[in-house]
Amino acid sequence: MRKSFHRRPMGSGLGAALALCLGLLVAAPASATDKGFEIRGGILAHDAGLFSSPKENGVDLNAELLFPSPALLGFLGSPRPHIGGNLASDGISFGYAGLAWDWSLTRSWFVTASFGGAIHDADQLTEDDLRPGQRESSVRLLGCQALFHLALGLGYQLTEAVNVHLYADHISNATLCDKNEGLENAGIRLGYEF
C-alpha cells in the first residue's frame, strides 16, 4: 500500500545546524578583510528540473544568513558558514547549513557557491511506497531525511552592501539511500551585507 505524503517537522535537525554554525563563529574571529554578516533571500521556481523532469509545482521562498568566516577556515579559502531554508508553496520544504564561497569575476560580477547538508519535511519515500503497477510518484522520492545541499549563483554587486544574483540549489543523498531523485530550485535572490 502506498504511504501518503506527509510533512515532517524540521525542528531538532535545523537547531543542530544552527548550533554548528554558531560554534564555528565562536571558534575564531574573522579577519578584517573578510566579508561580514549578510542576508540573502529571494523567490525560486520549485522543482525546476535542472537535472530531471519536474514532478512538483509552485515556488519557494528562500532565506539565508551568512556569517563572517572564522580564521580556522582559512585553509579552505575562507568560506562563510551559512544557514537557510526554502519554504515551498506546494511541495518539499527544507532547511540547510554549510559553507559558502564568493569569487569576484570583475569589480561588479561574482560567482557564489555553497556546500553543506539539508533536512527536508517530506516522508522518506522510496519505490516501495508506490502502488502495484504505479511506475512513478507525483512527489520526489528523496530516499532519506538528511541530504547534501549544493548551490551555485552568478551575482552582480549593485552597491557596496547590496547584490542580486541568479541562483540554483540542489538537494540529494548521493545514492547513500534507497532512492535518490534529488530536487532542484532556481530563481533570483537579493543580498544585503551589514
What number of CA atoms fall less than 13 Å from residue 107's CA on the CB side? 2
Looking at residue 152, its pLDDT comes to: 98
Looking at residue 124, its pLDDT comes to: 57
Quote the CA–CA distance of 185 and 50 in Å, as a whole number. Answer: 8
Quote the CA–CA distance of 124 and 39 in Å, as a whole number. Answer: 31
Kindly report the pTM of this predicted structure.
0.79
pLDDT at 61 over 70: yes
Residue 30: band (very low, low, confident or very high) from pLDDT cuts 50, 70, 90:
very low
Residue with the larger pLDDT of the pair 188 and 121: 188
Segment 166-186, tens digit of pLDDT: 999 999 999 888 788 889 999
Residue with the larger pLDDT of the pair 7 and 48: 48
Q: What is the mean pLDDT of residues 29-47?
A: 79
Average pLDDT of the residues of the chain = 84
Considering only the top CATH level, what class is 36-193?
A: mainly beta
